[in-house]
Amino acid sequence: RKEVEQDPGPFNVPEGATVAFNCTYSNSASQSFFWYRQDCRKEPKLLMSVYSSGNEDGRFTAQLNRASQYISLLIRDSKLSDSATYLCAVPSGGYNKLIFGAGTRLAVHP
Amino acid sequence: GAVVSQHPSRVICKSGTSVKIECRSLDFQATTMFWYRQFPKQSLMLMATSNEGSKATYEQGVEKDKFLINHASLTLSTLTVTSAHPEDSSFYICSARQRDRGGETQYFGPGTRLLVL
């Protein structure tokens, strides 16, 4: 089993829709989790950090389910500018190196 | 958020040459930096963990003699791709770890696109 797994998508949604992505992780001892956004041919940019049960920032909500070992990212009222690849990352090892999922592509259309 | 820079942003070189990529944390000190590689339509793959003042830790399958890492100061890590070949063409991204109130966060540089002819 991979350390971090994501549904690659793509998710094609209309503007204004609500969309949710899931990310499962294998290390039950993980304490922190991250969602990054990556635009085409650009570096990942931190979207949200999750240290407890969840986090909310405007239209974005991240939730952690420790029992089932997954984190989710919910995007409400999708905008065209939300089109990107969303990467889930979980620290691993002594240096807390980040292990990334394969990413989920989101395409928001008019 | 914190700022991490990378130089050069893109490089084209001939097969057999060596290429050095610099990663700098501009407004914070980073004892640990990470080097990733990303092939088209794939996710980021960690290559190595760079530690200031000590040897880098390489991930399984990454040749340490081919990808030389030097972390000489708290704000600079360099990755040198030695004797580059076309299969080394990729997007190389570094990140620097910052400790803050919430814990630790990694901030990424803008990446270096390497094309080996």
Give the best residue of B46, B106, B113 to mutate against chain A (max A CB count within 10 A).
B106
Residue A28's pLDDT is 85
Q: CA Rg, chain A, in Å?
A: 13
Q: Which of B44, B104, B111 sits opposite A100 (nearest CB)?
A: B44
The one-letter amino acid at A95: Y
Which tens digits make up the pLDDT trace of B52-99? 888 899 999 999 999 999 998 999 999 999 999 999 999 999 999 887
Please, are residues B40 and B89 in contact by the beta-carbon 8 Å criterion?
no
User: What SS3 class is residue B88?
Assistant: helix
Spatial distance between the Cα atoms of B100 and B22, rounded to a whole number of angstroms: 24
* pLDDT for A61: 96
Q: Taking a C-beta distance cutoff of 8 angstroms, is the pair A50, B109 a contact? A: no
What residue of B is the nearest CA neighbor of A38? B43
- CB distance A74 to A20 below 8 Å: yes
A9: CB partners within 8 A, 6+ apart = A21, A104, A105, A106
Would you state the pLDDT for residue A54?
85
What confidence tens digit (pLDDT) does each residue in B3-33 have? 999 999 999 999 999 999 999 999 999 889 9
**pLDDT, tens digit, for every residue of B28-47?**
998 899 999 999 888 899 99
Is there a contact between A46 and A53 (Cβ–Cβ < 8 Å)? Answer: no
How far from B8 is each of A52, B78, B112, CA to CA, in Å? 38, 11, 6
Whether B43 sits inside 8 A of A103 (CB atoms) is: yes
Residues of A in contact with B43 (CB under 8 A): 87, 100-103
**Which residue(s) pair with A106 in the sheet?**
A11, A84
